[in-house]
Amino acid sequence: MIAINTTAGSGAELTMTAIITDESRKVKMTISSPLMTPYISVNDPLFMSSMPREVTATSGIDVISHAIEAFVSTEASPTTDALALGALEIVFEYLPRAYENGYDLEAREKMMYASFMAASAFNSAGLGYVHALAHQLGGHYSTIHGNNNSVLIPHVLEFNAPSIPEQRLIKICETLHKTAHNRSEAVDIFSQSFMELASTVGLPLRLRELGVQYQDIETMSQNALKDIVCLTNPRKGYLEEVMAIYEQAM
């Protein structure tokens, strides 16, 4: 199997994870096996230069979600940390350029590397509640995965923060060339920086922009907690807590 990448975000060209949508139940399910890993992965920014702006933005935000979730994962290691933080720094610098001009091959190449690095990180360290909750939004409403992530990332980080070592949160801010002195400040600084980036590339910040309805939150939360990616989330949530994340993101 040879995978030729035309976006910079999903990591499908090198990871062992895929998503299956059960349209009858409106559920997205994660499956994972080394047998799904391509033998050869081809990445070339020329193949990405014609990517539409909207796809550039949504796939680029997916890189951030991969990087953040791998970095705070319970299975994080020095290797995955280096890949995740390296990817995070690149995206914040180069995604606006790739979004503004798809034929900026330097920006495309940098985003290509960021995507590859973040995918390598989560392929080993795993993901978390951002993806678990985003999958159910996609299954229930057929919303774009990157848009789901864009809304959820700040709220999931706030939920996870008490279970993430303070220095790791401060390190995330340092990667963005920001200074934080404690856990709360780090969460606020990252969330503000992230929302500014998302706005720059035209992505939503609230679930209501995606047409999400309050009456669907409990069902989506139940399904999200069954997602295998929950296993490496740093904080384990009860149903009511997961529902609260959705509600705060509305």
Q: Does residue 137 carry a pLDDT above 90?
A: yes
- pLDDT of residue 181 exceeding 90, the answer is yes
Q: Which tens digits make up the pLDDT trace of 90-104?
A: 999 999 999 999 999
Predicted pLDDT of residue 21? 85
Q: Where are the alpha helices (DSSP H) in 14-76?
A: 53-72
Identify the burial level of 174 via C-beta atoms within 10 angstroms of its C-beta, where 0-12 means exposed, 13-18 middle and 19 or more buried: middle
As a whole number, mean pLDDT of residues 147-158 equals: 97
In sequence order, what DSSP letters do the residues of 145-176 get, joined into one string? HHHHHHHHHHHHHHHHGGGS-HHHHHHHHHHT
The predicted pLDDT at position 30 comes to: 81
Q: What is the pLDDT of residue 20?
A: 87
Q: Where are the alpha helices (DSSP H) in 73-216?
A: 78-100, 105-125, 129-141, 145-160, 166-175, 183-200
Per-residue pLDDT reduced to its tens digit, 161-180: 999 999 999 999 999 999 99
CATH number given to 2-249:
1.20.1090.10
Render pLDDT for 45-62 as a digit per residue (tens, 0 to 9). Answer: 999 999 999 999 999 999
Domain locations in the chain as residue ranges: 2-249
